[in-house]
Amino acid sequence: MANLPTGKPPGKDQSGLRYPSNGKTIYHRPLNRTKTAELSQASFAYLFSEMISYAQRRVTGIQDLEQRLNVQGHPLGLKLLDLLLIREPPRTQTRPLNIIALLHLIKINLWTHLFGRQADRLEKSSNPETPDEYMIVDNEPLVNAYISVPKEMSQLNCAAYVAGIIEGVCDGAGFPARVTAHSVGLQEGGGGDGGMWPGKTVFLVKFEAAVLEREALIGGKG
Amino acid sequence: MTVFALIIINKAGGLIYNKTFHEAGLNKVSTNDLLVLAGTFHGVHAITSKLNPVKPTPDRSSTASNSGLANRPEPPSGLEVLESENFRLQCFNTMTGTKFLLFTDTTQANVDVTIRKVYDLYSDYVMKNPFYQLEMPVRCDMFDRKLLSYIREINNR
């Protein structure tokens, strides 16, 4: 072991984290370096599968499990908001100031960054009693590509993790919201094999009352 | 040209999946008989892989420069095909000892390609599913769906 490059010996200010031998962490890398980088879907699938197994430990129910997945995604969203904005051209680097701009940022930039394509649809709730609800539709979420949820847990949608990321972006931009993921593929198709998109998922974004109030004051112009 | 059925046997010899694709193909067999078939096949496979003629092992000293991995012998394969007048049973044994048995027509071509594709589907939709417990019966909708559409495509060719 003596001839292995050991890098910096763990200092007093470091926890047990590994430190690369040349001393350069990811914080030294240019932010645009990984802009077009791609990752293996298989390794993500295994990692995500382990994340779900981890979240499943000692949960009290499906709601609790979804909440845990949501919490795992939240910090990611907070950080991605900053990263995605800094990658914008300098003139449009401001954070979104109204709901529509924010949702477009999520639908286009966030989705392209995470999944390599845009989200399939963006809708506003048609119910007049819930003007604070918006829906982002993904026909086949990448995170659910290999997941079959057992019948006794049919309420569960593992895209709750992505909902957590969206929630992080909304919170980071100053639009506090609750985001939940719902499977709609099976109801909509009605057929035996669940229509064209059996994994169709709706991310329901429910903004807080204060956000709507502010939006009304500024007249949606930002 | 028809694929009749698929059976998956775990490494302990238990039946973890069985599916019939072509109703007019094989006669119906009770689940109990299928379990016996799985167990028996597993045992016969284990014995046949021991029957493999011993290959002369390369001289250790001459290949000492190679890494240990390079001169590791191929694992013995064991029973691969079982054929009767009306059907043919092809076995595919994975590195971990899971066996895929595909019952096909005797004239079916490229069964090894088909069975590898089934293995692909298995490793995607079963092994990457967080709700599947290893060595337990396979109950994954997604796997069923993909498998059915793939086999249907082959049977209609």
Q: What is the band of A161 on the pLDDT scale with cuts at 50, 70, 90? A: very high
Q: What span, in angstroms and rounded, lies between the C-alpha atoms of B142 and B157?
A: 23
Q: In what order do the strands lie in the sheet with B3-9?
A: B15-20, B3-9, B99-104, B88-93, B81-83
Reference A98, options A2, A10, A221; nearest CA is A221
- CATH of span B3-155: 3.30.450.70
Average pLDDT over residues A88-100: 86
Average pLDDT over residues A65-79: 94
Of A32 and A49, the structure prediction assigns the larger pLDDT to A49
Res. A2 pLDDT band, cuts 50 70 90: very low
Contact A171, A177 (CB under 8 A): yes
Q: Contact B129/A49, CB-based, under 8 Å?
A: yes
- For helices B141-155 and B111-125, angle between their N-to-C axes, nearest 10 degrees: 160
Lowest mean pLDDT among A40-49, A150-159, B63-72: B63-72
Task: State the DSSP H helix or E strand holding residue A193, giving kind and residue range, or none if neither.
Answer: none
pLDDT single digits (tens) A99-144 = 999 999 999 999 999 999 999 999 998 888 888 999 999 999 999 9
Q: Is a pLDDT exceeding 50 seen at residue A1? A: no
Q: Residue A198: list chain B partners with CB under 8 A.
A: 145
pLDDT digits (tens, 9 = 90+) for A166-221: 999 999 999 999 999 999 876 654 444 456 888 899 999 999 999 999 999 987 55
pLDDT in tens, B104-156: 999 888 899 999 999 999 999 999 999 999 999 999 999 999 999 999 999 88
Does A47 touch chain B if contact means CB atoms closer than 8 Å? no
User: What integer best gives the mean pLDDT of chain B?
Assistant: 86
| Separation CA A195–CA A140 (nearest Å) | 12
Given pLDDT bands bounded at 50, 70 and 90, which one contains residue A38?
A: confident
Cβ-based contacts of B124 with chain A (< 8 Å): 45, 146
Pairing of strands A201-207, B3-9: unpaired
pLDDT at B115: 94
- Residue B90, strand partner residues: B81, B102
Domains in chain A, CATH or no CATH each: 40-218 (3.30.1380.20)
pLDDT for res A192? 44
Q: Environment class of residue B98 by beta-carbon count within 10 Å: exposed (0-12), middle (13-18) or buried (19+)?
A: buried
3-state secondary structure chain B: CCEEEEEEECCCCCEEEEEECCCCCCCCCCHHHHHHHHHHHHHHHHHHHHHCCCCCCCCCCCCCCCCCCCCCCCCCCCCCEEECCCCEEEEEECCCCCEEEEEECCCCCCHHHHHHHHHHHHHHHCCCCCCCCCCCCCCCHHHHHHHHHHHHHHHCC
- Tell me the mean pLDDT in the region B92-96: 92
CA A137 to chain centre: 13
CB distance B130–A148 less than 8 Å? no
Domain ranges of chain B: 3-155
The per-residue pLDDT of chain A, averaged, comes to: 85
Residue A109 is given by DSSP the state I
| Token pair belonging to B51 | 């029957």
- Give the residue carrying structure tokens 């014995």: B47
**A145 has pLDDT over 50:** yes
A42 contacts in B (CB within 8 Å)?
A: 128
Calpha distance B81→B60 (Å, rounded): 34
Residue B118, amino acid: V
pLDDT of residue B55: 66
Give me the percent of chain A exceeding a pLDDT of 70. Answer: 86
Instruction: Say what the pLDDT of residue B118 is.
Output: 96
According to the model, what pLDDT value does residue A187 have?
61
Higher per-residue confidence, B55 vs B118: B118
The per-residue pLDDT for B99 is 95
Using the beta-carbon criterion (under 8 Å), do A148 and B140 form an inter-chain contact? yes
Which residue matches tokens 């094989």?
A: B26
Size of interface A-B (CB pairs under 8 A): 38
Number of Cβ within a 10 Å radius of residue A104: 15
Which chain B positions have a beta carbon within 8 Å of A193's beta carbon?
145
Q: What is residue B93's predicted lDDT score, i.e. its pLDDT?
A: 93
Tell me what the mean pLDDT of segment A75-91 comes to: 90
Give chain B's contact residues with A (Cβ, < 8 Å): 124-125, 128-131, 139-143, 145
Query: Distance (Å) from the C-alpha of residue A88 to the closest C-alpha of chain B?
Result: 35
